[in-house]
Amino acid sequence: MLPEIGHSSLVLASLLAFLNVSFLVWLQLKSDAAIEQTSLFSLAAASRRLVIGQWFFVTLAFISLALCFVGNDFSVAYVVQHSNILLPLNYKISAVWGGHEGSLLLWLWILCLWSSMLVIVYRNQSLPMSVNIRLFGVLGFITLGFLLFILFTSNPFDRVLPVFPMDGQDLNPLLQDFGLIVHPPMLYMGYVGFSIPFAFAVTGLLEGEFDRTWAARAKPWAKGAWAFLTIGIALGSWWAYYELGWGGWWFWDPVENASFMPWLAGIALIHSLLACEKRDGFRIWTVLIAIICFSLSLLGTFMVRSGVLTSVHSFASDPSRGLFILVFLALVVGISLLLFFLRAGRLQTQTGFSFLSKEFFLLLNNIFLLVACSTVLLGTLFPIISDVLDLGKISVGPPYFNSLFFPLGVLLLFVMSIVPELRWGGVSLNESYRKIFVALLLSVLLSVLFLWLFFIDIHLKVLIVLSLCLWSLVLLFWRNGFVARILRLDLLKDMSISEKNMHLAHFGFLVALIGIALTSMYSEERDVSLGMNESVTIANHDFMFSGVEQLQGPNYLATRGLVKVTSPSGKALSLHPEKRHYYMQQKPMTEAAINPGFLRDIYVALGEDLGAERWSLRIYYKPFVRWIWLGALIMGLSCFYYLLSQNRLVKKVLGGDV
Amino acid sequence: MNEDTSKKLGLVIPLILFVAMIPLFFFAMGEDKEEIPSPLIGKRMPDFLLPSLDGDGIYDRQSILGEPFILNVWGSWCPSCILEHPYLSELNQKGVKIVGLNYKDTEEGAREFLEKLGNPFAVIIVDAKGELGIELGVYGAPESYLLNGNGEILFKRVGVIDERIWKEQMEAIYLKAIENEKSEKGVN
């Protein structure tokens, strides 16, 4: 019964989404003069209700699927593949989005959630009626596409009848983790959230206008989506770090890249929307980036689902799925870029700005970000290109990305530090010159001192990145009355909420970057083979191995190693890395033992049994690695803070603008 | 070219770039990544020394060869094997020789499974620790190998064999192997 309820809810939702699209088409076919205000009014009201309706039915489908998992309904193929009787309840629920079909349902549900939030924010008809219809028509088109994709190629409610198994196959042990419960929903909130600025951009093209009012409308949504994406990516990186047992936090895996591209484009979008809002310029550019940003999200979805790439994240591939989503991608992106080509010319404005202006540097930042984005895109697609052209199977590894991201990062950092010093429209920098140079000198000295105290040897690359980060920080504090403010603990007082958001987000970015630079260059890692009570010294820490023991888990059997670590200051701690064998699956899983710290992590993973009580162990010493996720958290939370405070202001702002 | 047209041309660049990408994706999709070529294809299956489920002694490679056959990796712990089992019985009735490799299973479990669902296997080799499994590169159960009479691996299937898979991917190889076998015997 439940699967049928879920299935029919999806069918009903697609009918509603279809109505949204047909309103849009109807509006496009009629000339504006021929439409009566009253019918326009009722269509606008209806299109808002339809969105809420879609959200309701998709929620119903989602709950049905979750109940199938909880009730062990093994007549549902998707449940058979991703659950079994022994699976703990919380993983049964998170297993709902543990596979291809269910995670698409989550994607869809989040899309409906964002659209509904849009309805709620603009519930007082503060948008013009035609904008209303077009906006929800565009979103309805995307919703409809995903609904049909699910119904025709990836239905999670498909049954295995008449003979169905008594028990399921278990969820991939990799995915039995807190990381899985939160990582995909966060990431999807980000990916899908970019559909809102995208819808604004396309609606703007259809309406033939995209001015500062439009930018002001789209900006909070872009920030929200980006904040979720930031936290989602950070969670994924953190999850890979402690769960996969690889000891790294970023692997340039194609699917990681797929989330990284919209993230980069998202930064460009937020800054471009800002410039458009403040100066009414960059209209065409902003619209283009909004389209690119969501297209990259869709492209990511396509790459993961169609099997064009192989990666740890890949879902089982199926050519019909790939073809469907490719056609859909081509339609959404193709139509919007075609519209861009035909209509963007109308958005043209003439706003002049000089070289030393905020606008110019924001544009520069946008270009660097898009170059970075293309770099990732090229690196991700290159293996595919070479495969298709029969040049042999090639994988583009970290060396490519790292060598390109260092100079791009330095350029970005430079621009980022300078921008807040500049004014809109451009102004002479005379009084700031000295300050900027003094700050630079100060930060280089500080960096040298810090690196020398902490690590003794000084890498040039780290020195450059660290100096620029500190430079940015020093300028930030200096501008705001540095010492006096620190003493009064009111660093952010007298600032508008957007300014606080900006400074905090930049601060988070710098924290993450410092973490990346230090952990990349100063980490130590060793693979060692240790017998009973043997020890090894890594990064001044002493690691002693005291054998293994067997341990029984709820649905696995574990071999647990005991490692005693003594720090240079004589503090001792014990770590217990595990190797787990899940009963239902043959793959052994590595559970690394991690001792976290603000300044360093110690990470021990248990390797192979070498016989005679000897084991291979992988030991890492990772300085400042937590700063990466801390920085991401600050970036994300600063945007949420902005959005929450915006909520009270929303009525005032929007009440004024229409 | 006036300024307007050049601007217009600038606006079309994103569209062109995107359209150029589509055929790339289309052709990339055709490449089947699921089919991980086994390095063992075209080679003889690894030798082994393992007991049978019937307890009638220790088997090695030579003892299971002779005619083309399917080596099916299964276990009573594997739900998909239950799904696959009726079709294996059907193949067996058609005269296809199937050797079972009982993989990481318990003896009671395996016996119970066969009692309930029937036994299509000519012989069942017991690989309780997965030793032969490692040599063969088994991903999980069910998994099947198609071998000729000399023990050369002709085809590997990860996952359930059903009628569609058999007809589309395996039957032709099997029939050809039978054919070769006959002609060799004819020559001798």
Closest CA to A378 of A254, A225, A563, A543: A254
8 A C-beta contact, residue A261 and residue A244: no
Residue A76 falls in which region: left (phi positive, over 0), alpha (psi -120 to 50) or beta: beta
Give the pLDDT score at B185.
66
How many CB atoms neighbour CB A100 within 10 A?
22
pLDDT at residue B160 above 80?
A: no
Question: How many angstroms separate the CA of residue B14 from the nearest CA in chain A?
Answer: 7
**If you search the block for the tokens 């040049």, which residue do you land on?**
A391
Question: How many angstroms separate the CA of residue B180 from the nearest CA in chain A?
Answer: 33
Q: Cα–Cα distance between A84 and A96 in angstroms, integer?
A: 13
Q: Report the DSSP pairing between strands A588-591 and A578-582.
A: antiparallel
Specify the higher pLDDT residue, B6 or A26.
A26
pLDDT digits (tens, 9 = 90+) for A235-274: 988 887 876 655 677 878 777 888 899 999 999 999 999 9
Q: Report the DSSP pairing between strands B143-147 and A535-538.
A: unpaired
Give the pLDDT score at A638.
92
Interface residues from chain A to B (CB-CB < 8 Å)? 80, 160, 163, 165-169, 284, 288, 291-292, 295, 302, 306-308, 310, 314, 316-317, 319, 322-323, 326, 329-330, 333-334, 337-338, 340-341, 344-345, 348, 381, 384-385, 387-388, 583-586
Residues B18, A337: C-beta atoms closer than 8 Å: yes
Give the pLDDT score at A308.
62
* Angle (nearest 5°) at CA B68 between B64 and B74: 60
Question: How many angstroms separate the CA of residue B131 from the nearest CA in chain A?
Answer: 13
Specify the higher pLDDT residue, A246 or B83.
B83
Contacts of A328 (CB under 8 A, 6+ apart): A145, A149, A298
Residues B26, A319: C-beta atoms closer than 8 Å: no
Give the pLDDT score at A396.
60
Residues A306, B30: C-beta atoms closer than 8 Å: no
Q: Which of B18, B74, B84, B132 to mutate to test the interface with A (most CBs of A within 10 A)?
A: B18
What is the CA B25 to chain-centroid distance, rounded? 28
Question: Residue B14: which of A288, A308, A381 has the nearest Cβ?
Answer: A288
How is A485-547 classified by DSSP, letter by letter? HHHHT-TTTT--HHHHHHHHHHHHHHHHHHHHHHHHHH-EEEEEEE-TT-EEEETTEEEEEEE
Which residues, listed in sequence order, are joined to residue A435 by a DSSP beta bridge?
none
Helical H runs in A419-496? 430-455, 460-479, 482-488
8 A C-beta contact, residue A9 and residue A60: yes
Give the pLDDT score at A657.
38
Tell me: ipTM over 0.95. Answer: no
Q: What is the DSSP letter of B168?
A: I
What is the CA B121 to chain-centroid distance, rounded? 16
Which residues of chain A fall below pLDDT 70?
31-34, 125, 161-177, 180, 243-247, 306-319, 350-353, 387, 390-398, 427-431, 479-494, 584-588, 647-658
Closest CA to A145 of A303, A330, A5: A330
Which residues, listed in sequence order, are joined to residue A146 by a DSSP beta bridge?
none
Residues B29, A306: C-beta atoms closer than 8 Å: yes
Radius of gyration of chain A (CA): 27
Closest CA to A20 of A157, A110, A112: A112
Q: Cα–Cα distance between B136 and B41 in angstroms, integer?
A: 10
Summarize the confidence of residues B147-161 as an average pLDDT.
84
- The dihedral sign for the CA sequence A225, A231, A233, A239: negative
B51 CB burial (10 A radius; 0-12, 13-18, 19+): middle
**If you search the block for the tokens 């017998």, which residue do you land on?**
A531
- At residue A602, φ and ψ (nearest 5 deg) are -115, 135
Question: Residue A165: which of B21, B34, B79 has the nearest Cβ?
Answer: B79
**If you search the block for the tokens 């009692």, which residue do you land on?**
B115
Which residues, listed in sequence order, are joined to residue A339 by a DSSP beta bridge?
none
Interface residues from chain B to A (CB-CB < 8 Å)? 4, 7-8, 11-12, 14-15, 18-19, 21-22, 24-34, 77-80, 82-83, 104, 130, 138-140
Question: Residue A168: which of B15, B79, B139 has the nearest Cβ?
Answer: B79
For chain A, give the longest Cα–Cα distance.
Answer: 88
**If you search the block for the tokens 């769960």, which residue do you land on?**
A243
Written as six digits, the tokens of A472 are 């940015």
Written as six digits, the tokens of A578 are 């595990």
Question: How many angstroms separate the CA of residue B113 from the nearest CA in chain A?
Answer: 13
Q: pTM of the entire structure?
A: 0.78
Question: Residue B28: which of A163, A388, A585 has the nearest Cβ?
Answer: A388
